[in-house]
A and B are shown apart, each in its own frame.
Chain A
Amino acid sequence: MQPYFHSVRLDENKCKGCTNCIKRCPTEAIRVRKGRARIIEERCIDCGECIRVCPNQAKLAITDSLERLGEFRYTVALPAPSFLAQFKSEVAPEKVWGGLLTLGFDEVFEVALAAEAVSWAIREYLQSNPDRPRPLISSACPAVVRLIQVRFPSLLGHIIPIESPMEIAGRLARERVCRMTGFPGHQVGTFFITPCPAKVTEVKQPFGGISSVDGAISMSDLYGALLRRLETAKAYPLPLRASGLGIGWGRAGGENEAIRAGSLLAVDGIHNVIGVLEEIERGGLADIDYLEAQACTGGCIGGPLVPQNPFVARVRMGNLVKSHRSQEEWDFPRELGFYHRKVSISARPALKLAEDPQLALARLEEAEKISRELPGLDCGSCGSPSCRALAEDIVQGYARRSYCIFELRERLQKLAEEIVELAQKQPPAMGREWRQARERGEVD
C-alpha cells in the first residue's frame, strides 16, 4: 500500500506526552508511547484538531515555503476565500494582492472566484441528476472527505463528484497564465494560501490522482511578512475580482448561500459533522439535497493555520460579502464536465482489528471482556484515548494490561497488603524467642 502523506506532524522535542490530543482526535489516531505522542498514519485525516488543542505547540503542519516559488518561471498565488477576512477593513484588498506580489508571486487568482464557478456547477449537478443519492455531500473540505474514507466508507457514494474550488482555481489560473504569457503549463507554479493542513495533504496526495495545485503555503506563515509590506506595497487591482458569493465560502454556511438550490444543510465542527454523517448512514436526512460539511468550527476561517480569531474574521467576512455584492460577469466554463471529478474516492479501512474476520471477532470478544474490567474512567493515562481503545490496543498487541495505572495501583496495593500480612506472620521459632523475652521482662 502507498504510504500516506500527512501534513500534521509531531515535534518530538516539544511533546510532553500529555493526553490532550489523544482525547480530542476524531479517529482515535493518536497514542502516547514512551512519553511522546504517536500518530497512527492510516487513521489520521489531517483535520488539525490536535494542533489546536496541543498546549505545547508540539503538533505542527508541514507546508511549503516561499522558496519553492523559485522552481517555476511564473507563479500564481491562490488565496483561500478565508484570506481577506484576516485583514482589518481599512486594508484595501488591492493592497493585500500587491503585498503578495512583493513576496515573489507574479499573479494572484482568488479561490473565491473559482468557488463562484463551483457553486454554479453544484447547482447544475443537483438540478440535472434527480436520481442522485440524498443528501449529496460537499467535497470542499478534505478533512471531511478523509473522515468519510476512514469512518463512513458506506457514504463515499454521497460525495458530489465535483472538484473543490481550490482544484478548479489551480486549473483556471494556469490556463489564464498560459494564455497570457505563452509559457507551457509546467513552468507555471500555482500555490494555495491555506487555512489548514488538510488542504496541504489534498495538494500532496490528491483524491483525484493529480492536483492542479503545485504547493500549499500556510496563511499564518505569510501573514507576518505580508503585514510588514502592506504600507509600502503598491495596490494591485485584480483583472478578475471575486464577489461576495465566492468570498462567503470561507465561512460556515457560505457554500450553501452561494448554491441556492434545493434543500441545503450546513454543519461545521468535526464532531458535529460526525453526528450528521451517522444520521445519514442510518438512512436519515433523505429530504436534504446537499450537505455542506466543514471540519473546523465556523468553517475555513476557523482553520488551524489562520492567524486571526475566527469570530473577528467572521464579522470581517460578513462585511466583505456585503461590500462585494455586485457579481462581475466572467466567462468561467459553463460545461459540467470541466468540474467533474473523474476518480472515485476509495475507502480507507483503518479500524479493522485483524485481517481475518474470525480472528477479528475473537479479538473483539476479548476486548469487550477487558473493557468491562477496566475502570471506565477514560483518563488517558495509559496513552490510549479511552478504556475501550486500550482494550482494543491490548488485543492487537499494541499495549499491555499494566498500562492502566488504576489496575496497576490496585495490584500494588494488594501486593503491599500481602507483604504487611506476611510480615506479621512470624515463624514458630521467632514466636518462641519473643515469648521467652517477655517472660524475662525485656518486652511488654
Chain B
Amino acid sequence: MQLRFEVQGMDFSRAGQAAAKIKKVLQQVGVEPGIVRRAIIVAYEAELNIVIHAYHGTLTASITPRKIEIVAEDEGPGIPDISLAMQEGYSTAPPHIREMGFGAGMGLPNIKKSADDLDIQSEVNKGTRLRAAIFI
C-alpha cells in the first residue's frame, strides 16, 4: 500500500494533513499506537522540512505488514552538511519562520529518534531525498 502527497514550499496551512492521513491508514491496519506515533512524527517533520526549506516535493509512505517506509523528496537548496543538520538545535530556518514557531532545529533529530533506519541524500542547489523506515 502506497500513499503519495504533493508538498508545496511555504504552504504551512496544509502541513500536517499528510501525517494525519498516514495515521488513519496505520490505525486501520491495526498498527500498535507507539509505532503509529513514531511514523506520524517522521512523516510530519519530513513534510515540514519540505515546507520550510524546499520549493516543492513529494512525501510517500509505503506500508507493508512488516514496515513503514517514508520517503521525502524535494527540489530545493539541499543540505550542505548533513551531520551538522542532524544536531539538535542546529537550524538554517530564517527568523520569520522561527517566529511562527517552526525551524527550531529539531526536525532531523526527531526523525532520527523516531525511525529505525534513516538515509539522507542531498545535493546543494538541487534537492534532498530522505528515506526513513520504521519496523512494525
Looking at the complex, which one of A283, A351, A355, A364 makes contact with B44 (CB distance below 8 Å)?
A: A283
Complex Cα distance, B34 from A315, in Å, reads: 43
Stretch of B6-14, B19-27, B85-93 at the chain-chain interface: B19-27
A282 and B29 within 8 A (CB): no
Q: Is the CB of B29 within 8 A of A361?
A: yes
* A365 to B63 alpha-carbon distance, docked (Å): 11
Q: Is B44 in contact with A154, judged by CB distance below 8 angstroms?
A: no
Chain A contact residues, majority secondary structure? helix
**CB 8 Å contact bits of B34-45 with A (1 = contact, 0 = none):** 101100110111
Contact A357 B37 (CB under 8 A): no
- Across the interface, A365 reaches (CB within 8 A) one of B1, B20, B24, B34, namely B1
Is B28 in the interface zone, CB < 8 Å from A? yes
In the complex, residue of chain A having the shortest beta-carbon distance to the beta carbon of B30:
A352
Partner of B65, one of A282, A349, A361: A361
Beyond A281-B40, A283-B44, A357-B65, whether A154 also contacts B1 by CB under 8 A is no
The one of B16, B37, B63 in contact with A154, judged by C-beta atoms closer than 8 angstroms, is: B37
Given contacts A154-B36, A361-B65, contact A281 B29 (CB under 8 A): no
Interchain CB contact under 8 A, A364 and B33: no
How distant is the Cα of A156 from the Cα of B36 in the complex, in angstroms?
Answer: 13
Asked whether any CB of chain B lies closer than 8 Å to the CB of A392, the reply is yes
Chain B residues contacting A347 (CB-CB under 8 Å) are 33
Inside 8 A of B33's CB, which chain A residues have their CB? 153-154, 156, 347
Contact with A along B41-78 (1 / 0, CB 8 A): 10111000000000000000001110000000000000
Cβ distance B133 to chain A, nearest Cβ, rounded Å: 17
Question: Complex formed: what's the CA distance from A282 to B21 in Å?
Answer: 12
- Chain A 356-368, CB-CB to B under 8 Å as 1, else 0, gives 0110110011001
Q: Is A231's CB within 8 Å of the partner chain B?
A: no
A364 & B25 in contact (Cβ 8 Å cutoff): yes
Contact residues in B for A282 (Cβ distance below 8 Å): 16, 19, 40-41, 43-45
A218-B33 Cα distance, complex, nearest whole Å? 35
Instruction: Please name all residues of chain A whose beta carbon is closer than 8 Å to the beta carbon of B44 when the two chains form the complex.
Output: 282-283
Task: Report the separation of the CA atoms of residues A364 and B45 in the bound assembly, to the nearest whole angstrom.
Answer: 25
Contact string against B for A residues 395-421, beta-carbon threshold 8 Å, 1 for contact and 0 otherwise: 000000000000000000000000000
Most chain A CB neighbours (cut-off 10 Å) among B16, B33, B63: B33
Residues of A within 8 A of B36 (CB): 153-154
Looking at B23, B24, B27, B37, the one whose CB has the most chain A CB atoms below 10 A away is B27
Whether A175 is near chain B, meaning CB under 8 Å from some CB there, is no
Q: Which residues of B contact A355 (CB under 8 A)?
A: 30
Query: Is A353 in the interface zone, CB < 8 Å from B?
Result: yes
Complex Cα gap A360–B31 (Å): 10
Residues of A contacting B28 in the complex (Cβ-Cβ under 8 angstroms): 351-353, 360, 364, 392
CB contact between B29 and one of A151, A364, A368 (< 8 Å): that residue: A364
User: Among A352, A360, A368, A392, which residue has the most Cβ atoms of chain B within 10 A?
Assistant: A360
* A12 sits at the interface (CB 8 A): no
Q: What's the Cα separation between A368 and B44 when bound, in Å?
A: 22
- Give the shortest distance, in Å, between B58 (CB) and chain A (any CB): 17
Q: Which residues of B contact A353 (CB under 8 A)?
A: 28-30
Interchain residue pairs with CB less than 8 A apart (19): A151-B27, A153-B36, A154-B37, A154-B40, A278-B16, A279-B16, A281-B23, A281-B37, A282-B19, A282-B44, A283-B40, A349-B30, A352-B29, A353-B29, A357-B136, A361-B1, A361-B65, A364-B25, A392-B28
The 8 closest A-B pairs by CB, nearest first: A154-B37, A154-B33, A282-B44, A153-B33, A352-B30, A357-B65, A360-B29, A351-B27
Q: Which residues of A contact B (CB under 8 A)?
A: 151, 153-154, 156, 278-279, 281-283, 347, 349, 351-355, 357-358, 360-361, 364-365, 368, 392
